[in-house]
A and B are shown apart, each in its own frame.
Chain A
Amino acid sequence: MTDRVPGNLGIENYKYGFKDPENYVFRAKKGLSKEIVEEISYMKGEPDWMREFRLRALEIFLRKPMPTWGADLSEINFDEIYYYIKPAEKQSKSWDDVPENIKRTFDRLGIPEAEQKFLGGVGAQYESEMVYHSLRKDLEKKGVIFLDTDTALRKHPELFRKYFGTVVPPGDNKFAALNSAVWSGGSFIYVPEGVHVDIPLQAYFRINAKNMGQFERTLIIANKGSYVHYMEGCTAPIYSTDSLHAAVVEIIVHEGARVRYSTVQNWSMNVYNLVTKRAVAYRDATMEWVDGNLGSKITMKYPAVFLMEPGARGEILSIAYAGKGQHQDAGAKVVHFAPYTTSTVISKSISQNGGRASYRGLLQVQKDAHHVKSSVRCDALLLDEQSRSDTYPYIDVKAKDVTIGHEATVSKIGEEQLFYLMSRGLDENEAMALIVRGFIEPIVKELPMEYAVEMNRLIELQMEGSVG
């Protein structure tokens, strides 16, 4: 029995590696200092409390050591990064106002205009500020707020202050502290009580400047009994020096509400993607993370759900693909604070061409959180013998009457499966792509159609020419 070496899956030939000429109104100096943070706050015309919040976070950032676990972050040089860039484009309200070169960028990303109109609102983050924002009128009438985070701070200061930083405090981890100090852009969503947003809200992020960290901050508040689905997609051009992306996403799901947050992350191969995503779910609320990690050099991302009151439910679905030179350290974190709460985690990973995919998860049941049910399932597919797959689940239980299960498997593509498909006339590439698609299908099917299509297209792209 010989091993088939599938060879190059082609992700190195990065599809979205184009770039527009840089054109900025303002660009802060490289590096990080108290002055830079104050300057960012000043440029944005922020209230005092936010400036103080930023400065406090900066202190925490400087004090906290780099994490010693997970992926290798030793090559990040915090002094070589621009922490704030204000692009030339002003906030636009209609599609016609969006500058040509940016439209071009979106076209090349494959989101046709018609499709965007179909979607509820498109917030496209170009660099650090939103350049395009629209929301269907009927949603606005219902009282749904969908703004970039900076504008939301100006327009809804009280609502903003009530929730901002409550789910992910600056002291949570080093990169959350960094984001808290220099955050810029991101989405702000507020859904009033009982409102059901039946079309997904979407924002596209792009990084477009050398050595530019992107530190967007997203805050989603779903009031009682409401529903919203937010989608975030990322693609970035290739640059020779490393880029840092350290976002924070905070979500508050009130009683009986449901929030779904979907991501397809496809950063270019030099991006460090270090993201803190966390949701709190109250009585009978449901939080769902759907997370796809395809690009980046290193990703460390563990979407979290804190289940605060009885009946709350958390669900995390994730896919990771690690190709040459990539380390996807992704996972999930669920903390059951209350009795009668439930959670499900499903993770699938694919490693190829020496890539390393790790699942790192924490499942914690706090004292007196009885009648908790939780199941975690991780499957990994290794496509060749140079690649690596790890599973690091941590399970801590401090309560009785709980039902906790964790399962993981690691396997390769079966010879028999390949043989069968090839005997039916598929070539080896197509057969492998089909099997890989089948492997991730349970998660892809949870994505809205356009995302599922894009996901499958990316996988196909990677499988192209994979047998050399």
Chain B
Amino acid sequence: MRIAIDEQLSKQHILEISENRVEPSWLRQSRLAALEKFEQMEWPTGKEENWRHSSVRVFTNNLRFPVFSQNVRLLETLPELPLLQNEKLKAATEKSGRVYMNAEGQIFSALPENLQKKGVIITGMPVAVREFPAYVEEFFRKASPIQSESRFEALHRASWNTGFFIFIPESVALDEPIYLFSETSENEEEGFFPHNLIILEHNAAARIIEVYFSPNDHSAAFVNGFSEIHVGKSARLDLGTVVNWNDQVVHYHSSLLTLQRNAHVNWITALLGGKNVLFNLESRLTGPNSAVNMHGFYFGSGSEHFHLNTYQNHQTVQSKSDLLYKGVLKDQATSVYRGIIRVEQGAQRTDAYQANRNLLLSSEAHVHSIPVLEIEANDVRCTHGATIGQVDADQVFYLQSRGLPRIQAEKLIVDGFLNEIVKQLPDAGEEIQDLVHARINHKYFG
């Protein structure tokens, strides 16, 4: 459904989605408030700092709305995903919670009984709204704008259609990772607007791995996602996001991670495929002794464009953040990394690090790096670095002298460069890591 925005994103349509789904009134209000904001705001002009070197038009021209009339369909069984032809991965997903969702509104979720008894909830957002409205409402009420809030977030909050809901109660620690799968539709007119909510209560611990993928190698799609992640006092979270679209997908996504006192999070993001992918990743360190690792990489080939905006927001004393994003760019691919370390007044004894390291494999590839520091407290340790270089010719020569063809040698070095990040994905076995390597292989050898 190709929709002229101003005609179609009306109050009536919003009410339509909301009524179709029998949503509670607070949710309807939240959608209408967002719609109002959407109507007041303009699209970014492209001159904004967090849009530098990216095209707003690619996003607005490819915009597709979710199908408003669609109903949520709960699946009895997990569809035959090509991904799960890997028996080991399939077995791993069955040990713990898993959710599958797609742009068509289908949702499958499963959770072993012992975890259900402990109060763990792992399901689709529309289901959670119906069955656990109190939890969802609390976090919707708390929602606040992200640093790079734009009209896309307003659009999302008004019209999101699906998503994950993960709730780990106090002092519950999961042994096995949770697997989340998101798929776009073969129908190119169906927009995909997932709204994900992940909540870890005090002292909880979990590993979560999410994979975004396309149904085939050619269907275009528009995705406008939002993830909200709350990590309570002394909780531990390992979160891995693998974006593995085909090269026709346009994806705008904002993620907001809030850490309370003593919370520790490893947040790994891998951008492997997509026509134009823009991620805003924001960490708010609101309690002393909270710590976050924001690590990740992007690997662009063909004419893919990846844009990462990161925000390390230290709001209180003695918190720590460590950020490292690596980039590899082949062919005519382009990337933008823009990251801000923000230390608020009074956030003494902050320890923040930020690094962006890029490898350029082609003279037609472009890389932009903007690592920013904004420091308003004096007793801090804040350091950042950015590097741009290429594969070391001596290393390639050495490998070639050992009998490897040039391209293999180069790939081996690139693998080594990225493996520091890939191996941090919170996998049970190494199946998702294998998936990542498979995609990189594909970028090299077709």
Contact = CB atoms under 8 A, between A and B. Distances in A.
A385 B386 contact: no
B370 A399 contact: no
A393 interface: yes
Nearest to B350: A410
A402 B386 contact: no
Interface residues of A, number: 37
Interface stretch (B203-211, B246-254, B361-369): B361-369
Nearest to B53: A396
A412 B365 contact: no
Contacts of A380: 373, 375
Contacts, number: 118
Interface residues of B, number: 37
Given A401-B390, A405-B387, A407-B384, A395 B360 contact: no
Interface string B355-393: 000101111011111111111111111111111111000
A156 B386 CA distance: 46
A408 interface: yes
A410 B312 CA distance: 15
A405 B386 contact: yes
B314 to A, nearest CB: 12
B316 interface: no
A396 B389 CA distance: 12
A394 B367 CA distance: 11
A408 B390 contact: no
B385 A391 contact: no
A411 B374 contact: no
Nearest to A390: B374
Contact of B388 (A69, A382, A397, A412): A397
Contacts of B405: none
A70 to B, nearest CB: 12
B348 interface: yes
A397 B376 contact: no
A392 B386 CA distance: 12
A406 interface: yes
Contact of B345 (A367, A385, A407): A385
Given A397-B366, A407-B383, A408-B385, A383 B378 contact: yes
Contacts of A367: 363
A404 B327 CA distance: 14
B346 interface: yes
A276 B387 CA distance: 28
A171 to B, nearest CB: 18
Contact of B384 (A386, A391, A412): A391
B386 A390 contact: no
A390 B385 contact: no
Interface in B286-302: none
A412 B374 CA distance: 15
Nearest to A405: B387
A302 to B, nearest CB: 15
B346 A410 contact: no
A406 B382 contact: no
Contact of A385 (B346, B361, B382): B346
A412 B377 CA distance: 9
B379 A412 contact: yes
Contacts of A409: 381-383
A391 B382 CA distance: 11
A403 interface: yes
Report which residue of A370, A386, A408 has the largest number of chain B beta carbons within 10 angstroms of its beta carbon.
A408
Given A391-B384, A406-B385, A397 B378 contact: no
B372 A389 contact: no
A385 B388 contact: no
Contacts of B52: 394
A352 to B, nearest CB: 9
A411 B367 CA distance: 29
Given A368-B363, A385-B348, A408 B383 contact: yes
A116 to B, nearest CB: 41
A384 B378 contact: yes
Contacts of B362: 400
Contacts of B361: 400
Interface in B25-83: 49, 52-53
A410 B351 CA distance: 10
A408 B377 CA distance: 16
Contacts of A389: 373, 375
Contacts of A368: 363
Given A391-B384, A406-B387, A410-B380, A396 B368 contact: yes
A391 B373 contact: yes
A324 to B, nearest CB: 15
B363 A385 contact: no
Interface string A351-391: 00000000000000001101000000000101111111111
A40 to B, nearest CB: 34
A391 B374 CA distance: 7
A410 B386 contact: no
B378 A400 contact: no
A117 interface: no
Nearest to A356: B376
Nearest to A388: B376
Interface in B307-364: 345-346, 348, 358, 360-363
A335 to B, nearest CB: 14
Nearest to A3: B379
A391 B365 CA distance: 26
B315 to A, nearest CB: 15
Contacts of B348: 3, 385
A370 B388 CA distance: 12
Nearest to A69: B49
A393 B371 contact: yes
A393 B363 CA distance: 23
Nearest to A369: B363
A386 B345 CA distance: 7
A407 B377 contact: no
A408 B341 CA distance: 12
A403 B387 CA distance: 7
A71 to B, nearest CB: 14
A42 B374 CA distance: 48
A300 B140 CA distance: 43
B379 A392 contact: no
Contacts of B346: 385
A457 interface: no
Nearest to A387: B378
B370 A394 contact: yes
Given A385-B346, A385-B348, A395 B369 contact: yes
Contact of B374 (A382, A388, A400): A388
Contacts of A390: 372-375
What are the nearest 4 A-B pairs in CB distance? A382-B378, A400-B363, A404-B388, A391-B373
13 contacts: A382-B380, A384-B378, A385-B348, A394-B370, A395-B388, A397-B369, A400-B361, A400-B363, A403-B387, A403-B388, A407-B384, A408-B384, A409-B381
Given A382-B378, A390-B374, A393-B372, 14 more contacts: A3-B379, A368-B363, A385-B345, A389-B375, A394-B52, A395-B368, A396-B367, A398-B366, A399-B360, A400-B365, A402-B390, A406-B384, A410-B380, A411-B382
Interface of A: 3, 69, 367-368, 370, 380, 382-412
